[in-house]
Structure 1
Amino acid sequence: MSALPPDLSAAIVASGYFPEFVEATLIPAIGDEEVVDSLVHHEATFDTNELRRHITVLVLTPTRFIVAHTDDGDQPGSHQALTTVESVSLRQIRSVALTQVAANPERFGRGRHGTTETWLVVNWGAVRRVEVEPATCGDPSCEADHGWTAQDLSDDLTVRMSAAADGPAAVGGLVRFASVVQRAAV
């Protein structure tokens, strides 16, 4: 493959975040496979006195789920961008969860009332984390030791979009992409 599909390339260029570099890292990962669907999410965060940017590009092929993350580097005195591209066989995907949030659900679908936030969580077993915290009984005045609670979590990828930050079209795009991945990863 010498170039990305026009819609994927246009979305990467629209993000404005080193598009030539991002495309150059994706092309060899996709190879000669067909791009079934894709999603681009650009996220900017403020870290103390600086702006930090991050782009996630998700690509679905007939056999793989490709995840590319590009971030600003943190090398002192040098401006860098780093990309990691991970390729996951669709057979390895354990779960695909889509969470949708609706403000004013009683008016959902009427006027400007629709999905306001959405999360896509894809798990293929590469990352596991355990969150441990003190257990409580719910009584705010209780001073007894109730031990500990723990959660064993596996969430290799989480992408969150909101209508307020990313726009309603981006939220709809994440819902559409997640639905395609859910059907492909059975």
Structure 2
Amino acid sequence: MQPSIGSASSATRKLKKTLDHAGFYPALVLDVILDALDGREPAGDLVHLETHVERTEVHRHITVLVLTEDMLVVAQADDQHLEEDGPEPLAHVSTESVPLAAVSSVVLSAAWARPQEYRHADQPREVTLAISWSGAQRLDLVPAGCADPQCDADHGYTGTSALEDLVLRISADADGPDAVQSARRFARSIRSASTVPDPRPHPAPARGGTVPARLGRPHQPRPGA
């Protein structure tokens, strides 16, 4: 049973306020997230709303990251119309619960305008946050070429491969300076939470040059010995 908002913690109320500000089915998204938390207390959150215009249709997509003591909850929601001229939309909401121990990489890329004039505490114009946990790969391929401008041979493709399960790009121009700062704070929080040293004892390395019996060659007595 989910707690009522009136009795919820300050972190939950803060998350509700952020979802209300985003304005994308906030009550629905909050209930789905609280269900995925299974009673855990939020320790940090990041909400990112994207709007895409396609011909005469406007599509919105929201990504919500909620950090707890031992888990990262990733919620994503979008909407679509059941019929081309139908007035009633259908909302799709999905959640993924990722143990922090499974987070393998947190990459934060930032871009500063006029770097030649940079001063301490200047804020970036945009950031890109990439989080990996399952080993999913993204391939960016382009046709390969050579140094000969007259060459018309097929050189195949070249590109880059990056491990990432989630990528968010937040721009100060599109999302506001506060959104950029929120992304940077969340990146620091999950980076710190997912790099806690393993408290389990590790076996001491074997001393000497002995070879385990299962790797050694068994000794067989020679005939007549």
Tell me the TM-score normalized by structure 1: 0.90
CA distance 1:63–1:148, change in 2 (3 Å): same
Question: What is the SS of the residue equivalent to 1:84?
Answer: strand
| Structure 2, unaligned runs of 5 or more | 196-225
Question: What is the SS of the residue equivalent to 1:10?
Answer: helix
Q: CA deviation at 1:133?
A: 3.9
Flag the structure with more relative contact order, 1 or 2, with Cα contacts below 8 A and sequence separation at least 6.
1
Q: Distance in 1 between matches of 2:172 and 2:64?
A: 19
What's the counterpart of residue 52 of structure 2? Answer: 45
Query: Among 33, 57, 60, which residue is 2:67 paired with?
Result: 60
Query: Among 112, 116, 128, which residue is 2:137 paired with?
Result: 128
Query: Among 97, 105, 109, which residue is 2:115 paired with?
Result: 105
Map residues 140-179 of structure 1 onto 2, 5 A cutoff: 140-179=149-188
Q: Distance in 1 between matches of 2:177 and 2:53?
A: 23
| Structure 1, unaligned runs of 5 or more | none
- How many residues get paired? 185
CA offsets 1:33-73 (integer angstroms, 9 cap, x no match): 12111011111111111111111110000111111001013
Q: CA deviation at 1:146?
A: 2.0
Q: Distance in 2 between matches of 1:101 and 1:150?
A: 22
CA offsets 1:137-181 (integer angstroms, 9 cap, x no match): 144432123233354433110111111001111111111111111
Q: Distance in 2 between matches of 1:118 and 1:65?
A: 20
Query: Which structure has the larger Rg over C-alpha atoms?
Result: 2
Tell me the TM-score normalized by structure 2: 0.75
Answer 1 or 2: which has greater strand percent: 1
Contact 2:141 2:158 in 1 (8 A): yes
Counterpart AA for 2:41: E
Contact 1:68 1:85 in 2 (8 A): yes
Query: Among 23, 32, 35, which residue is 1:28 paired with?
Result: 35
Stretch deviating more after TM superposition (141-150 or 44-53): 141-150
Contact 1:38 1:59 in 2 (8 A): yes
Contact 1:33 1:61 in 2 (8 A): yes
Contact 2:19 2:26 in 1 (8 A): yes
Give the share of equivalent positions with the same residue, in percent: 35
Contact 1:108 1:114 in 2 (8 A): no
Q: Distance in 2 between matches of 1:161 and 1:97?
A: 14
Question: What is the SS of the residue equivalent to 1:171?
Answer: helix
Contact 1:103 1:114 in 2 (8 A): no
